[in-house]
A and B are shown apart, each in its own frame.
Chain A
């Protein structure tokens, strides 16, 4: 490996048999910032020109910081926004009306979607459609899977004959409880919190689970 931009380019040393090349010159240590500043200030006589140039430099740096820090902070800050959908109704649990999914079927994933009104920055109520698989486990116990594969986010589909979720993109396969059976996905299918109120199923926050299907994100 050739060093292109080393600090101190060392001359290539020929290795001759029987010659010890390990005795290198000990590298000179670079002085720290304070020592260097002292060196700069004391090595040359302080002239008016040098003083003004230094002052100009430091004042410029201060102005750049005063202008740069708020600006960069403001632009960077939205990257820490968290997504909160709140509780959104999916469907009634009872007998479905036209257009509604039938959630009475037990242990079978039903593909459906809910619309959540989210506050997205300056958009006060931005509708967002979220596709989910709802599984009725019986006794008002539900599992709501996010359709997006945990590998790179392709929407998985449920194949009834196999009893498997398949991702269309990179051969990710999940079992009916969302565990990874094969392929590249790093973790089981993500899930939504749910609650049942007045016979209506609601979806809440999205969360991740580990291989034991225990919740790992809050």
Chain B
């Protein structure tokens, strides 16, 4: 039934050279397994996107329903607990792997000229990943989530001069409540993903442009 589909598309769009250029890229000889942490981080990001989209089919960012909708997904939906725990462990794995990636780049001194900009962007990306963790932690809206966010926002409040304003902005007021939950939800599923994807594309593009750093 689909025989000839590939040829049909290929004849019109000529995608093969593009695919070869993107995928069939020679890497230098000095590459080791330690160089895999960045790619592994990206892989966990894919897991987070897939499982996250699936959970969006069930989750309600409202104080009335958040906990119940999460509990329903966890206990009543077939495979629901698997998908939710994939998201949870995927988050731990992503933070861990991105940290290993940073340590690898640091130890290999791969941040030196001409790659300073990519190092700086990488630090921004780590902050975004931690932002994902912080905003996602509140969403189940249980005691742990509530008090952890309370502490987190108080830490934000200790930033000199702008801390109080920043904390109130994230909190949606002086008290942690319904608006905080929706804000964190919007950040977690709309703002952060868009910014992170844009940053990652730039990160990868710079690696392609500059190549992988020479061995020490």
Contacts and interface: CB of A to CB of B under 8 A. Distances in A.
Given A67-B47, A122-B65, A74 B4 contact: no
A184 interface: no
Contacts of A74: 54, 57, 73, 77-80, 82-83
A121 B60 CA distance: 12
B190 interface: no
Contacts of B83: 70-71, 74
B126 interface: no
Given A5-B4, A70-B82, A123-B68, A77 B77 contact: yes
When A and B form their complex, which 3 residue pairs have the shortest distance between CB atoms, in order from nearest?
A122-B72, A70-B79, A122-B68
Interface string B183-206: 000000000000000000000000
A125 B83 CA distance: 26
Interface residues of A, number: 17
Interface string A116-148: 000001111000000000000000000000000
B69 interface: yes
A109 to B, nearest CB: 38
Interface string B77-101: 1111011001000000000000000
A73 interface: yes
Nearest to B69: A122
B8 interface: yes
Main secondary structure of the interface of B (DSSP, over half): helix
A202 B75 CA distance: 32
Interface in B80-132: 80, 82-83, 86
A78 B77 contact: yes
Contacts of A27: none
A70 B79 CA distance: 5
Contact of B50 (A68, A78, A124): A68
Given A7-B3, A74-B73, A77-B78, 17 more contacts: A5-B4, A5-B8, A67-B86, A68-B50, A71-B51, A71-B83, A73-B79, A74-B54, A74-B80, A74-B82, A74-B83, A77-B77, A121-B69, A122-B60, A122-B65, A122-B69, A122-B72
B71 interface: yes
Contacts of A29: none
A21 B43 CA distance: 58
A79 B3 CA distance: 33
A75 interface: yes
B72 A121 contact: yes
Given A67-B47, A71-B51, A74-B54, A124 B4 contact: no
B54 A75 contact: yes
Interface string B26-66: 00000000000000000000010011001001101000010
